[in-house]
Amino acid sequence: MIRPTVPDDMAALLALASKAMSFSPDELEELTTILTDYFSGKTANHFWWTDDDDELVAAAYCAPERMTQGTWNLLFIAVQPDYQGQGRGTALITHVEQMLATQGAHLLLVETLASFEHARAFYRKCGFDEEARIRDFYEVGADKIVYRKVLTA
């Protein structure tokens, strides 16, 4: 069941980021700040969705691109390792796309590291096209790849 994320999900979201995405302590601290701001209403136009199967199985987070009209960024998507390969991530992306399109969004962007071939294959499977590659973005030898997908209502 895909539903809006609630404050009681915070600990499970942090555990998901740690387990499924190997977030470092600094990244978990940043995620805690993002979630705290979200739940306090400081980022009211941002969205978190959760796949709940009697436990938090997956989550996605997106936010509008500043100074644009209708362009959004998928900033976080993760699925518990035991649930990967079951269509949960695809269902979350589809839900995000539908929700954003009904609000007038026309473009969804997502970025990843060039070395994350599994994530890159997933985005391509979901209909995203590689739009840009910024060499040595994260550090020397760690390229950033931006994928884009046009949304339709």
Instruction: Encode pLDDT of 11-21 as tens digits.
Output: 999 999 999 88
pTM: 0.91
pLDDT number for residue 88? 94
Confidence band of 112 (pLDDT split at 50, 70, 90): very high
Long-range residue pairs from 118-126, CB within 8 A, at least 24 positions apart, any chain: 120/145, 120/147, 122/89, 122/90, 123/147, 125/90, 126/90, 126/93, 126/94
pLDDT number for residue 62? 95
Q: Which amino acid is at 30?
A: E
Instruction: Encode pLDDT of 92-105 as tens digits.
Output: 999 999 999 999 99
pLDDT number for residue 111? 95
Confidence band of 35 (pLDDT split at 50, 70, 90): very high
Contact yes or no for 20/60 (Cβ under 8 A): no
Please state which architecture CATH assigns to domain 2-150: 3-Layer(aba) Sandwich (3.40)
Q: Is a pLDDT exceeding 80 seen at residue 67? A: yes
Instruction: Encode pLDDT of 127-138 as tens digits.
Output: 999 999 999 999
For residue 51, the 8-state DSSP code is E
Could you tell me what percent of the chain has a pLDDT over 90?
84
Q: Which amino acid is at 73?
A: N
pLDDT number for residue 39? 93
